[in-house]
């Protein structure tokens, strides 16, 4: 008995319905380019998965410019500064005064909800809960995406495939290993993140370096706090009951001016390992990688989703030029254009991470050096400007030119 295969064709096939894949599909649609997004997980999983929540100035602008910013502007929290905290004192970095820009606190899962709603409004352009996804013919002129759903095999013939399926996805690993150079640093700690039903104790984010390790106070709304603790990368959540989490957060975030947290019910908790990772090149034949499929940054600099937005904006413009003028050079230039900015963001994320976290092999000298670094940023306008300029986001066109 012949196996049933459902075949269709589209200009761009996209693997992965995270922010990168969904935004790419949205941008392509606005340019008149057809796409289909193939995703292994369910819509509910994608919309409820709590991730980062700081949008760079230019990321927020991209969402507004493409018709996705209304709910963000109603419900998001505009931040014009942040606090660096060490030795029991907080020092405000005035992002707005130093750069003329701020950031938007709006959860990644909220961005995903907005993108899914916008894409489904265009029709059945997202395929959820796909099994055994694979890509074939990526080094030919006729690549294709294959998957199973509901007992039926599907094949999508494409001109190009966008691999937006994350670090553990199938797209990057479909490229011959000898064609790639991988750069990676794995950190000896992770973040224990909690979502708590308690009003944020600060109106702006607090990045705290402490002898016990790093802590971060963030938020998702005026009623919901998002908090993080440095912990072992393989920390057992069973050993972190709510009471211990609040005790440790209070120890690392309390200040000599009497600042304290207000504990509340913890709604979610998870441990995230940390790494820096870059894959070069970001294109192999007709497969173009974007977002976490091509690079990972430690979350200290709040750059993961923002880098993905930068990638797909460059990719969408390259594809638009290709279809308008059959400009193959635009496709060839995609990876190099992204990588220049990616490495600058990697540098910033590494710098923030090493300045604020405790490493197992730190000596007393290392600790005093960290404190001197924090002190310099807190009291030098030039150093504070460097942090602020990177935090609100380097221009997405910085990859252009020599």
Q: Which residue numbers are catalytic? A: 79, 207, 299, 303, 391
Measured CA distances, 400 to 317, 335, 354 (Å): 13, 11, 29
Cis peptide before 396 (omega within 30 of 0): no
Q: Which two tokens stand for residue 101?
A: 């820009």
Q: How many helices (H) and strands (E) does the chain have?
A: 12, 21
Q: Are 345 and 294 in contact (CB under 8 A)?
A: no
Residue in 258, 256, 292, 255 with CA at minimum distance from that of residue 275: 292
Residue in 200, 193, 185, 109 with CA at minimum distance from that of residue 353: 185
The Cα angle at residue 393 between residues 82 and 88, in degrees rounded to 5: 20
Q: Are 349 and 307 in contact (CB under 8 A)?
A: no
Q: Which two tokens stand for residue 57?
A: 């100035």
Q: Across the strands, what pairs with 55?
A: 104
Length of the chain, in residues: 402
Q: Are 285 and 171 in contact (CB under 8 A)?
A: no
Q: What is the DSSP secondary structure assignment for residue 54, as one 8-state letter?
A: E
Q: How many Å apart are CA 254 and CA 250, to the nearest integer?
A: 5
Residue in 247, 241, 271 with CA at minimum distance from that of residue 261: 247
b/e 81-96 (16+ beta carbons within 10 angstroms → b): bbbbbbeeebeebebb
Q: How many Å apart are CA 225 and CA 215, to the nearest integer?
A: 13
Q: Which two tokens stand for residue 221?
A: 């709304």
Half-sphere exposure of residue 176: CA atoms within 13 angstroms, side-chain side: 7
Q: How many Å apart are CA 21 and CA 163, to the nearest integer?
A: 8
Q: How many Å apart are CA 218 and CA 51, to the nearest integer?
A: 12
Q: Specify the pairing of strand 181-196 against strand 5-9.
A: unpaired
Q: How many Å apart are CA 316 and CA 325, to the nearest integer?
A: 14
């Amino acid at each position: 008995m012949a196996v049933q295969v459902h075949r269709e064709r589209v200009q761009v096939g996209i693997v992965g319905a995270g922010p990168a894949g969904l935004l790419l599909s949205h941008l392509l649609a606005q340019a008149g380019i057809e796409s289909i997004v193939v995703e292994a997980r369910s819509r509910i999983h994608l919309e409820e998965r709590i991730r980062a929540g700081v949008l760079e100035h230019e990321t927020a602008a991209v969402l507004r410019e493409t018709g996705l910013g209304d709910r963000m502007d109603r419900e998001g929290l505009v931040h014009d500064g942040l606090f660096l905290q060490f030795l029991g004192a907080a020092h405000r970095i005035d992002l707005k005064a130093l750069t003329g820009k701020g950031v938007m606190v709006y959860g990644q899962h909220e961005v995903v909800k907005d993108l899914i709603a916008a894409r489904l409004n265009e029709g059945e352009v997202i395929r959820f809960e796909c099994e055994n996804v694979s890509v074939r013919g990526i080094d030919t002129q006729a690549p294709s995406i294959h998957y199973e759903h509901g007992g039926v095999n599907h094949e999508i013939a494409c001109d190009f495939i966008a691999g937006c399926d994350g670090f553990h996805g199938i797209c990057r690993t479909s490229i011959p290993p000898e064609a790639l150079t991988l750069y990676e640093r794995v950190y000896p700690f992770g973040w224990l993140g909690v979502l708590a039903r308690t009003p944020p104790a600060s109106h702006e984010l607090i990045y705290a370096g402490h002898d016990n390790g790093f802590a971060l106070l963030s938020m998702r709304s005026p009623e919901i706090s998002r908090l993080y603790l440095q912990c072992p990368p393989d920390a057992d959540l069973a050993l972190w009951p709510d009471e211990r989490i609040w005790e440790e957060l209070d120890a690392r975030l309390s200040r000599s001016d009497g600042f304290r947290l207000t504990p509340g019910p913890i709604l979610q908790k998870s441990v995230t390992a940390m790494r820096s990772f870059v894959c070069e090149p970001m294109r192999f034949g007709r497969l173009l990688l974007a977002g976490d499929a091509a690079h990972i940054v430690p979350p200290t600099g709040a750059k993961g989703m923002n880098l993905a937005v930068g990638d797909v904006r460059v990719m969408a413009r390259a594809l638009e030029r290709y279809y308008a003028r059959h400009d193959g050079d635009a496709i060839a230039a995609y990876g190099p254009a992204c990588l220049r900015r990616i490495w600058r963001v990697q540098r910033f994320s590494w710098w923030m991470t090493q300045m604020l976290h405790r490493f197992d092999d730190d000596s007393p000298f290392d600790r005093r050096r960290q404190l001197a670094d924090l002190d310099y940023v807190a009291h030098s306008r030039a150093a504070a400007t460097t942090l602020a300029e990177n935090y609100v986001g380097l221009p997405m066109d910085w990859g252009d030119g020599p």
